Amino acid sequence: MRAMLFDGTSPLLREVELPNPAPAAGQLLIDVHACGVCRTDLHVVDGDLTRPKRPVIPGHEIVGTVAALGAGVTGFASGDRVGVPWLGHTCGHCRFCLRGRENLCDAPGFTGYTIDGGYAERTVADARYCFHLPRQYSDVEAAPLLCAGLIGYRTLALAGDAPCIGIYGFGAAAHIVAQVARHQGRMVYAFTRPGDTAAQQFALHLGAAWAGGSDEAPPEPLDAALLFAPVGALVPTALRAVVKGGVVVCGGIHMSDIPSFPYAWLWEERRIVSVANLTREDGAAFMAIAGKYKIEIETRRYPLAQANVALSDLREGCFTGAAVLTLR
Ligand SMILES: [Zn+2]
Ligand SMILES: [Zn+2]
């Protein structure tokens, strides 16, 4: 099979021919049709996330069909469409797994980071962590649901019932989360890189009531702010925009350092929290929501061999929505 490989010595992936993987017990062999390109993949190749398997095939927003089943697989049949997310394995017996917080497992496996992912024609995945996908999305549209959508949804859930939400960084996750939040009847304000009028227009098109630069104040105070931009300086900015008791939820796996700020900005029970990974329960809840109506998914497609271009375009902010590698 053809695959794009990260060997740890350069941020550029190498196109290679590898033997097809064989499904072990409990695993699915998957013919990959599409794989989303997530900001986390950038953090892997840029060395911000320091413990990848080396070499590793990146990619954790995988959509394909089941080509073969390892022994003992239940819930999937040959030919089924399947989605593979970031969470690829948990231990099942640590204090976090036992308390329904498998996203914090002490011995996890992550697709496209510590387990080979979907920048390849084929992959194998533990069936217990895979999802069936709502029918109304094409393979390319479904790919961003698996991380941008799913971890975006967990980020939104940590905002509780906040009626008025600000979203900082209007990329792949934000464009899905904004639509879910609007569907839930919340008010959405979008913050982009200053001067990025294309992203601001995109946010307004998807139902944001206002869109502006991250250096601007929202038209009204926020009950919650969701941060998808990997910019630590936005944490105090967002904190100043939320009301008493408000929350700033950091949705990314990596962020530049947060500058110091006066305690008064945190005072009055404002909170800053981070989001780590996902649980299978999150996945089931989000796929149920995504299946109830049609979320508009904006994608920029690249052939597998152009994965480096896709990563570079994501780094430079060259497109709105989500980048997706296509394999057929
Ligand atoms: Zn565990
Ligand atoms: Zn991701």
Burial category of 193 from C-beta neighbours within 10 Å (exposed 0-12, middle 13-18, buried 19 and up): middle
* Centroid of ligand 1 to alpha carbon of 281 (angstroms): 15
Q: How many angstroms is it from 176 CA to the middle of ligand 2?
A: 13
In the reported structure, the alpha carbon of residue 110 is separated from the centroid of ligand 2 by a whole-number distance in angstroms of 10
Give the distance (Å) from ligand 1 centre to CA of residue 11. Answer: 30
SS3 281: helix
What's residue 294's pLDDT?
96
Please, where in the chain does CATH 3.40.50.720 lie? 150-274
Distance between CA atoms of residues 297 and 175, nearest Å: 8
The runs of H, that is alpha helices, within 113-241 are 139-142, 148-157, 172-183, 197-205, 234-241
- Of all residues in the chain, what percent carry a pLDDT higher than 70? 100
What mean pLDDT do residues 233-261 have?
97
69 CA → ligand 1 middle, Å: 25
Each residue's pLDDT tens digit, 281-304? 999 999 999 999 999 999 999 999
Helix, strand and coil in the chain, % to nearest 5 = 30, 30, 45
pLDDT at 191: 97
Homologous superfamily (CATH) of 2-146+298-326 is Medium-chain alcohol dehydrogenases, catalytic domain (3.90.180.10)
CA 27 to chain centre: 23
Q: What is the rounded average pLDDT for all residues in the chain?
A: 97
**Average pLDDT score over residue span 258-283:** 97
- The pLDDT tens digits for 66-79 are 999 999 999 999 99
CATH entry 1.10.3720.10 includes domain 150-274: no
CA 52 to chain centre: 17
Percent of the chain scored above 90 by pLDDT? 99
| Residue ranges, CATH 3.90.180.10, the chain | 2-146+298-326
**Which numbered ligand comes closest to the C-alpha of 93?**
1
169-222 pLDDT, tens digit per residue, is 999 999 999 999 999 999 999 999 999 999 999 999 999 999 999 999 999 999
- The bound ligand whose nearest atom lies closest to the alpha carbon of 278 is 2
What's the pLDDT score for residue 153? Answer: 96
In 3D space, the residue among 254, 218, 289, 234 whose CA is nearest the CA of residue 50 turns out to be: 254
How sure is the predictor about 159, in pLDDT bands with cuts at 50, 70 and 90?
A: very high
pLDDT score for 137: 98
Average pLDDT over residues 136-148: 98
Ligand nearest to C-alpha 110? 2
Confidence of residue 328 (pLDDT cuts 50, 70, 90): confident
pLDDT at 162 over 80: yes
